[in-house]
Amino acid sequence: MSGTPQPTWKSESKTILSSNAQKSTAAYWPTAGWRTSTPEAQGMFSGTLAKTLEMFGSQGVHSVAVIRNGYLVAEAYNASTQEDVPQDLKSVTKSVTSALVGIALHERKLISADQKVAEFFPELANDRLKSRMTIKHLLSMTSGIAWDNTNESSSTEMMYSPDWVQYITGRPGYVEPGSLFNYSNGDAHLVSAVLYKATGQSMLEYAKSRLFGPLGIDQVSWNEDPQGRTIGAWALALTLRDMAKIGYLYLKEGEWDGQTIIPKAWIRDSLQKRVTLNYSNGTQGGYGLYWWSKTLEKGLVRGGKKPYNLYYASGSGGRRIFVIPELQLVVAATANSPDVDMPEYLLLHVLQAIRSDKPLPENQEACAKLEQAVQSFRHE
């Protein structure tokens, strides 16, 4: 997001959750489906959302859904998809992989995120560097395993290898684990292999019973490697509305309708900034445990006098699940755009629609414009 990131490794423990916005109570839970609301009833102006759809319908966006205060206030789909069609999430998949690690820790299938990966793959134990690698190193992309992202070189080699995990564990360790950030699909797939050994199930089967089932997510596909291990780095497909459920679960700090799906401590740990990313447009962001974060400048929301912290799941082409706790906002989007800044610009335009934390007067004319924009978006 926001240009080409140049990572700077930092050991940090900054949490970006809002202490006053994280309440597990809700008027209802969208397990059986999202309840809809006019934007005005949730403090947003329909006219601005209409202009946003008009602007981004021609910029490679396939679908977008806006959730505020737990209500679906706007959604739009282009001709390539619709609300009940699972869409390829690309690397948004990694954030779900991270969630499943938290669930496995909660169930004591894993002892700790600081467990050595060599406990699951003894062949690593005799390597000076790889023997020190932990699950948390994999989750923060600091494993120290060599991975070449130039034209997806290592990922392509992995895909054409007969055993993906053997390919990953056979890669050389080149720096001390925890010392350097290097984005790696190999790290993420190795997490899946660890979970497979820890739970005795593929991640897809484990997710169906522990995560997707409780959230009412039943339209799922998730590909596997040649040995039947769910792909940890990509290949998950969900509907847009179910993407938004994942964001809402994190907004509610892992609570869902009276159940703890993901421990609050794991949510917080996942969102702590461990790497500082400097983007080409001059802004900064962070990386946690397969979740990204950023601080938005003040003034982006009308009348806003302070910056807002946001975290998000990110996939190539513009797939995103954005969460801004202090605004009780979730924005899910799918896209196929070469513009790495586009998803953030889309979010910033959505933020311009927020006018209040209280309901606004209903505006039939603005709502009609929004409906027209939704229909026009379909034909882009």
Kindly tell me if the per-residue pLDDT of 10 is higher than 80: no
Q: What per-residue confidence (pLDDT) applies to 16?
A: 52
The dihedral through the CA atoms of 240, 369, 308, 285 has a sign that is positive
Kindly tell me if the per-residue pLDDT of 18 is higher than 60: no
Kindly tell me if the per-residue pLDDT of 182 is higher than 90: yes
Confidence tier at 25 by pLDDT (50, 70, 90): low
Distances (CA, A) of 88 to 28, 103, 289: 28, 23, 21
Tokens of 34: 């999202």
CB 144 within 8 A of CB 130: yes
Kindly tell me if the per-residue pLDDT of 281 is higher than 90: no
What are the b/e assignments for 80-107, b being 16+ CB within 10 Å?
ebeeeebbbbbbbbbbbbbbbbbbbbbe
Confidence tier at 297 by pLDDT (50, 70, 90): confident
Q: What per-residue confidence (pLDDT) applies to 254?
A: 98
- Helix (H) or strand (E) segment spanning residue 198: helix 185-199
Where residue 286 falls (left for φ over 0; alpha for ψ -120 to 50; beta otherwise) is: beta
pLDDT digits (tens, 9 = 90+) for 78-92: 999 999 999 999 999
CA distance 25 to 90: 31
Give the angle 111-115-120 at the CA atoms, nearest 5°.
95
CA distance 357 to 180: 41
Q: What per-residue confidence (pLDDT) applies to 26?
A: 81
pLDDT digits (tens, 9 = 90+) for 130-159: 999 999 999 999 999 999 999 999 999 999
Q: What per-residue confidence (pLDDT) applies to 46?
A: 98
pLDDT digits (tens, 9 = 90+) for 34-81: 999 999 999 999 999 999 999 999 999 999 999 999 999 999 999 999
Average pLDDT, the chain: 92
Q: What per-residue confidence (pLDDT) applies to 277?
A: 87
CA distance 357 to 380: 32
CA distance 177 to 138: 9
Kindly tell me if the per-residue pLDDT of 12 is higher than 70: no
CA distance 264 to 250: 9
Distances (CA, A) of 20 to 24, 63, 257, 258, 301: 11, 31, 20, 19, 18
pLDDT greater at residue 292 or residue 25: 292
Kindly tell me if the per-residue pLDDT of 233 is higher than 60: yes
- Which of 114-118, 186-190, 272-276, 321-325 is least confident? 272-276
Residue type, position 336, single letter: N
pTM: 0.93
CA distance 180 to 140: 10
Tokens of 107: 């169930």
Percent of the chain clearing pLDDT 70 (strictly above)? 92
